[in-house]
Amino acid sequence: MLALLGYLMILVFMILIMTGRLSAMIALIVVPIVFALIGGFGSEMGPMALEGIKSVAPTGIMILFAILFFGILIDAGVFDPIIRTILKLVKGDPVKIAIGTAVLALLISLDGDGTTTYMITISAMLPLYKRIGMKPLILAGIAVSASGVMNLLPWGGPTARVMTALNLEMSDVFTPVIPAMIGGILFVLFMAFVLGRKERKRIGVIEFDYKIAAQHAAAVEDAHLKRPKLIVFNYVLTVVLLVALIMELLPSAVLFMIGFAIAITINYPKMSDQKERVANYADNALSVISMIFAAGIFTGILSGTEMVDAMANSLIKHIPDAMGSHFAVITAIISAPFTFFMSNDAFYYGVLPLLAKAGAAYGIDPALIGRASLFGLPVHLLSPLVPSTYLLVGMVGEDFGKLQGSFLKWACGSTIVMMVVAVVLGIIPL
């Protein structure tokens, strides 16, 4: 009964946001509350929702200060040289622009943080997309696809969760998966090429002076906000912050808070300028943070009612014994929908140990199950439960449902390519 209720709740939620009947934020709040009441959890609903909100609070704080930190750097002109270089290379050809977007997003994703990837990639490329008439949705889709593949990096989160949940080493999980990850990267570049060709067919190659375009591409046109004399300091600060994030010297929320405090104090020492800059980012920050806390209610009720556990158990029980020898591939397949409908913590700490135990019954090493569980990550990033994706759609001014409708098939393609490479090379057994 709980499993059925969970499936219905997710189905109703997806229909409502993909058809535009409700905004994602309202649906994240209303739908789980309605289904909690239907399931008879009315008296427990409040604590469940509050627990969910607490669980996303660190992420919400991190994203808030990441928006502020990168906003300061954008205003100070830190990314203007990157914009100019990209414009010089890709000029007005949509194919080159799309591939350039993918390369930029893949490189920035090396830090393992989707928020950083989106902030820098969108800030650098959105003015160019608008300048020549390319669809901003394509920019968002390429960025999220690149991040989905690069999220396999050990410091990205999911791989670390696999190692923790199954008590494995990086050499057991991540190192063997690198060839499959390369396959996913090549697929993202192919996707960018295909989308770029469609845009070139639609709008053609736009001839323009890239130097003039670079001026338009600057995130902030007010010259008094630029800090060219501080560009080296700002680059060093950014690198230090990214290294600290990768090394996990402090919690990411704390690191971004410290980084923001340093950046705004050095670049804009006047109190009046600081207030103006923070107010300038308030609209974007509020829309993103409110969505994150709404998602906390959804995940809190989904987990608190144990609908997630019931859904996982119902799926595992329905796997025929004859399919036991293919359990690694089965794990790879179901990792996509499971990580789409639940948080990474819920899947990797709650469901993955169950899958590993089930696989062990068929003689499959837990390390193989752990590797297989990572291939659904491209699909996971299009989940309405991923906070950074709301930042992405907010920055490009697009609808979350449109992003899902346009790029879920490409995300599934990334997953399939990585699975095929993994099977062919023996990374996971067929």
Check: CB of residue 45 under 8 Å from CB of residue 37: yes
Beta carbons within 8 Å of 149's beta carbon, 6+ residues apart = 106, 109, 181, 184, 185, 187, 188, 377, 378, 414, 418
Length of the chain: 430
CA distances to 199, 202, 217 from 134, rounded to whole Å, are 7, 9, 14
Cα angle: 69, vertex 28, 20; to 5 degrees: 100
Q: What distance in Å separates the CA atoms of residue 183 and residue 80, rounded to the nearest whole number? A: 32
Nearest Cα neighbor of 113 from 256, 233, 219, 235 is 256
Residue-level pLDDT at 64: 81
Q: What distance in Å separates the CA atoms of residue 311 and residue 304, rounded to the nearest whole number? A: 13
Q: What distance in Å separates the CA atoms of residue 69 and residue 60, rounded to the nearest whole number? A: 14
Residue-level pLDDT at 111: 60
Q: If the chain, 430 residues long, is cut into consecutive pieces of 10 residues, what is the mean pLDDT of each piece?
A: 81 74 82 89 88 80 79 78 72 86 84 73 82 88 91 75 75 86 94 93 73 48 73 89 78 87 91 86 75 80 80 70 79 87 72 77 85 90 82 83 88 93 89
Percent share of the chain, pLDDT over 90: 17
Helix segments in 158-209, DSSP class H: 158-166, 170-203
**Residue 64: how many other CB atoms lie within 10 Å:** 20
Kindly state the tokens that stand for 250. 């402090």
Residue-level pLDDT at 430: 78
Task: Tell me the pLDDT tens digit for each residue of 279-328.
Answer: 887 776 777 678 778 878 887 887 788 887 777 677 667 777 677 678 88
- Amino acid identity for residue 172 in this structure: D
Kindly state the tokens that stand for 231. 């560009």
The values of phi and psi at residue 14, to 5°, are -65, -40
Residue-level pLDDT at 249: 84
Nearest Cα neighbor of 119 from 43, 160, 65, 155 is 65
Kindly state the tokens that stand for 290. 């409110």
DSSP three-state, residue 235: helix
Q: What distance in Å separates the CA atoms of residue 213 and residue 273, rounded to the nearest whole number? A: 27
Check: CB of residue 147 under 8 Å from CB of residue 118: yes
Nearest Cα neighbor of 407 from 145, 185, 118 is 145
Residue-level pLDDT at 415: 92
Q: What distance in Å separates the CA atoms of residue 271 and residue 423, rounded to the nearest whole number? A: 58
Q: What distance in Å separates the CA atoms of residue 31 and residue 171, rounded to the nearest whole number? A: 42
Check: CB of residue 314 under 8 Å from CB of residue 6: no
